Structure 1
Amino acid sequence: MWRKKIVVAAAALALTTTVSGCSGSGGDGQDGKDASGLTTATIALSNQQNQSYLPLILAQRLGFFKKQGLDVKIDNLQSTSQVTDALLAGQVQGMIGFFDHNLDLQAKGKRTESVIQLLQAPGMVEMARTDESIGSPADLRGKTVGVTALGSSTSYLGDYLSLHDGVPLDQTHLVAVAAGPTFVAAFQHHRVDAGVTTEPTISTLLQKHLAKITTDMRTLAGTKAALGGPYPGTCLTVQASWAASHKDVVQKMVNALYASLQWIETHSATQVTDQVPADFYAGSGKQNYIQALANEMGMYDPTGQMPTDAPQTVLRVLSAIDPVVKGHSIDLSKTYTDTYVQQASQEAGHAAK
């Protein structure tokens, strides 16, 4: 059976937007000073309402970037590929996305690196429609599986979960349905049989009784059970060449994100939600958003460092399902560095004394 990959037209309706208090594009990618004398930088992501990205959102809204002398603009683009393209073109200085993209990019001859790990688990689940007799990825043979975008981390993990449970890659159909309302609509209108997604989409589907969870990767334990090891989620990725000539800016970015991770570690889901733009939980409702966040607070990485053995797990997963990575020699030591976050931790420790 040939593998059919379809992009749902509804996903294309998502327009580039910015977080409240942020604006602008990456421009020519050159950092400079704004009118207040702050160093300007742009960080790109896709689907900013994803709870995986809260460390970035809070770093801005709580003033951690400004405390570091940075004026950070956040570009919310339509897809992971657009985010990656913007980084490689120098239109933005950093991107927030899964660590696994660094391996994929290295296989393509690009040199990027994660400089701080925001999540120690994917924060994802695989769900099946409640009217389908799907109890695990093993039941997905011949089924249509929704993901945020083709080539995204949801598609990587959706592929691997099926393959790991004995379903060949050409026996499932991946469909790009974005996230949020379009993902929910795909379940509601039976465009998909199952899907891989994140919060708050997970809780919305559960609340509407449209889906059930078949694989839960919102915790370290759940991730290890599903994938056979730790699989880190979102991180801040930069081009290695840019980082080499802008170490001070990278350090300030990491300092701010580390402060955000520490703040999340010491606050409740309710307190975190109180700092989030209201439109982030408009679809699910504030109380459902809080509960969804409480269910996955353990996915955030308070140390900001790469979990032990995590790069090896990612390489194993991608080597099984990503034709770009499969058969290539990947130097994992060049896909991430803990140097900046170790410095951030040291500085934060001194500041607390």
Structure 2
Amino acid sequence: MRVLKILAAAILLVASLGCAAFAQTLEKTSVRLGVGGKALLYYLPLTIAEKKGFFKEQGLDVEIDDFAGGAKSLQALVGGSVDAVTGAYDHTIRMQAKGQDIRAVLELGRFPGIVVAVKKGVKYDSPADFKGLKIGVTAPGSSTNIMMNYVLAQAGLTPDDVSFIGVGSASSAVAAIQKGEIQALSHLEPVISMLERSGDIRVVIDTRTEAGTRALFGGENPAAVLYLKKDFIDKNPNTTQALVNALYKALKWIQTASPEEIANTVPEEYLLGDKALYEQAVQNSKASYSITGLIDPAGMKSTNDMLVKFDDTMKDTHVDLSKTFVDTFAKKAAESVK
């Protein structure tokens, strides 16, 4: 009996030392991560990594700060209140143009997943009809706003030709349409499926699919990514890899999970009181999630071309797109994550 007790104690000691050694490989075990609208399906991989315990498996304690929109989470990263962000890829290009070295390390969405719709009864034949309308976006400066600017530019319009209103995510966006506070909407799932089913909107542009994305942009257009300051990546390569590993595992899980399994995993409030509707929204969005975690160079160029076309502050900039995405972390995750 005494021998057994000694053996058990030795096993526990080795296990604890092993955990400590693992923890020591991470430069930071506590990470603050910003996101703009966590309940949106645009950021589903983040919620899956959190709820399935994939961050903890990597030895990370991740505190998630949920902001009103992607522009706010970017501001938090620049200001230093968060260490990393799950946000739109185009933010990395914009910041590189401003001389701030922010880089993506993992693609979460290969299509934007953003839908532009008009309220039922509002006249719409072409993007020119957006002139003078009140258009809801998640938040000013966020990806939903940026894509809408691109749509306007194609019709020869500018952001000054419309009124943009930040409507947040989920229930507040639905309410804004139903109360008539806005006449059009650039938004994401599950908001779109809810408004489609209730008959409150008519979809006019849809980037949830490859066909819809190519129709608008003429090619691929990467969406959500994990991005950080280069300085953080350089100082914390193991912590960065751990974040990528967890989110990459979430992407692989989403690929094989059923809409019902996904609905059973996310917080109940994400379902907006209608689980079946949420499952339909998941089904509508599944094709948009990244398969490899890598951004195709053509997608980088497509995004840059979009920004240069409609944004006067970007027209004379020459961004080295190779600095907007570091592919080594995603490649390593593909080799090691099971």
Query: In 2, distance between residues paired with 1:323 and 1:288?
Result: 40
Shift of 1:105: 1.2
Q: Which runs of 4+ in 1 moved over 4 A?
A: none
Question: For structure 1, which segment, 114-123 or 330-339, has the greater mean C-alpha deviation from structure 2 after superposition?
Answer: 330-339
Query: In 2, distance between residues paired with 1:308 and 1:331?
Result: 12
Query: In 1, distance between residues paired with 2:160 and 2:306?
Result: 17
Distance 1:248 1:161, change over 3 A: same
Query: In 1, distance between residues paired with 2:191 and 2:141?
Result: 20
Pick from 94, 98, 120: which aligns with 2:88?
98
Query: In 1, distance between residues paired with 2:76 and 2:293?
Result: 24
Question: 1:325: which partner in 2?
Answer: 314
Shift of 1:172: 2.5
Shift of 1:168: 4.2
Instruction: Give the secondary-structure state (helix, strand or coil) at the position aligned to 1:149.
Output: coil
Question: For structure 1, which segment, 123-132 or 321-330, has the greater mean C-alpha deviation from structure 2 after superposition?
Answer: 321-330
- Which structure has greater helix proportion? 2
Instruction: Give the secondary-structure state (helix, strand or coil) at the position aligned to 1:274.
Output: helix
Question: 2:176: which partner in 1?
Answer: 186
Query: In 2, distance between residues paired with 1:198 and 1:135?
Result: 22
Question: 2:227: which partner in 1?
Answer: 237
Shift of 1:38: 8.6
Pick from 186, 190, 194: which aligns with 1:196?
186
Report whether the alignment pairs 1:160 with 2:160: no
Query: In 2, distance between residues paired with 1:181 and 1:293?
Result: 17
Distance 1:195 1:66, change over 3 A: same
Shift of 1:65: 1.1
Report whether the alignment pairs 1:274 with 2:253: no
Pick from 279, 289, 292: which aligns with 2:281?
292
Instruction: Give the secondary-structure state (helix, strand or coil) at the position aligned to 2:80.
Output: coil
1:215-234 aligned within 5 A: 215-234=205-224
Query: In 1, distance between residues paired with 2:90 and 2:107?
Result: 11
Instruction: Give the secondary-structure state (helix, strand or coil) at the position aligned to 1:215.
Output: strand
Do the aligned partners of 2:28 and 2:239 also contact (CA within 8 Å) in 1?
no
Report whether the alignment pairs 1:40 with 2:30: yes
Shift of 1:273: 1.2
Distance 1:93 1:197, change over 3 A: same
- Name stretches of at least 5 consecutive residues in structure 2 with no aligned partner: 1-22
Shift of 1:173: 2.5
Query: In 2, distance between residues paired with 1:258 and 1:69?
Result: 15
Query: In 1, distance between residues paired with 2:247 and 2:106?
Result: 8
Pick from 285, 298, 316: which aligns with 1:309?
298
Instruction: Give the secondary-structure state (helix, strand or coil) at the position aligned to 1:324.
Output: helix
Do the aligned partners of 2:210 and 2:220 also contact (CA within 8 Å) in 1?
yes
Question: 1:26: which partner in 2?
Answer: none
Shift of 1:152: 0.9
Deviations 1:152-173 (A, max 9, x none): 1111111111221343443322
TM-score normalized by the length of structure 2: 0.88
1:71-90 aligned within 5 A: 71-90=61-80
Instruction: Give the secondary-structure state (helix, strand or coil) at the position aligned to 2:314.
Output: coil
- Name stretches of at least 5 consecutive residues in structure 1 with no aligned partner: 1-32
Query: In 1, distance between residues paired with 2:298 and 2:137?
Result: 26
Shift of 1:338: 1.1
Paired residue type of 1:341: A
Question: 1:259: which partner in 2?
Answer: 249
Instruction: Give the secondary-structure state (helix, strand or coil) at the position aligned to 2:205.
Output: strand
Paired residue type of 1:282: L
Instruction: Give the secondary-structure state (helix, strand or coil) at the position aligned to 1:120.
Output: coil
Shift of 1:326: 2.4
Question: 2:9: which partner in 1?
Answer: none
Report whether the alignment pairs 1:336 with 2:316: no
Instruction: Give the secondary-structure state (helix, strand or coil) at the position aligned to 2:168.
Output: coil
Report whether the alignment pairs 1:345 with 2:338: no
Query: In 2, distance between residues paired with 1:55 and 1:243?
Result: 21
Paired residue type of 2:308: S
Question: For structure 1, which segment, 132-141 or 108-117, has the greater mean C-alpha deviation from structure 2 after superposition?
Answer: 132-141
Shift of 1:130: 1.0
Do the aligned partners of 1:251 and 1:340 also contact (CA within 8 Å) in 2?
yes
Paired residue type of 1:292: A
Do the aligned partners of 1:258 and 1:344 also contact (CA within 8 Å) in 2?
yes
Instruction: Give the secondary-structure state (helix, strand or coil) at the position aligned to 1:296.
Output: helix
Paired residue type of 2:39: Q
- Give the greater-gyration-radius structure (CA): 2
Q: Percent identity?
A: 33
Shift of 1:324: 3.1
Report whether the alignment pairs 1:151 with 2:141: yes
Instruction: Give the secondary-structure state (helix, strand or coil) at the position aligned to 2:317.
Output: coil
RMSD of aligned alpha carbons:
1.8
Deviations 1:216-245 (A, max 9, x none): 000122101111121111110100011011
TM-score normalized by the length of structure 1: 0.85
Query: In 1, distance between residues paired with 2:75 and 2:122?
Result: 38
